[in-house]
Amino acid sequence: MISTIAAEFRDALPGGGRLIGLDLGTKTIGTALCDAGWTFASPALLIRRAKFTKDKEALAALIAEQAVTGIVIGLPLNLDGSESPRSQSTRAFARNIADLGPILLWDERWSTQAVTRTLIEQDASRAKRAELVDKMAAAYILQGAIDALVRV
């Protein structure tokens, strides 16, 4: 099941459980995890992208290890809300991992910018920002989704 509607996704997870958030980049996949009560999201691993099969194996291992019940993937939309080629690529990725669990595609506009701004304010070096931004963007995306899930 792949949805862009929080209520549909929540209904696919009647027992709740841990969620994983993904920020898909061209070179890395930032991951974040939340608690089973959907209270807070925390950055997790940074997966260096390889061939899709390896990426999926790494995600499947993390999902199994952390007893994840659902997946939230950042959907890169244009500022006007329309879809772009990156959006279509994200949707294709979601279809290819749909057997790993229910998926919620979540609007990720501004996530990277918000996280980068926070890291700059904290005076993080450029190298440190490069290492952290994708994981933190995944946490930002996941936090937005879980905040919506508990409201609907």
- 123 Ramachandran zone, left/alpha/beta (phi>0; psi -120 to 50): left
pLDDT number for residue 109 = 66
**Going along the chain, which residue ranges are E strands?**
2-3, 18-24, 28-34, 41-48, 68-75, 103-107
Q: Tens of pLDDT along the chain (152 residues)? A: 999 888 899 888 878 889 999 998 888 899 999 998 889 999 998 889 889 999 999 999 999 999 999 999 999 887 787 888 888 889 999 999 999 999 999 888 666 666 666 656 666 666 665 666 677 788 888 988 998 888 76
pLDDT number for residue 34 = 94
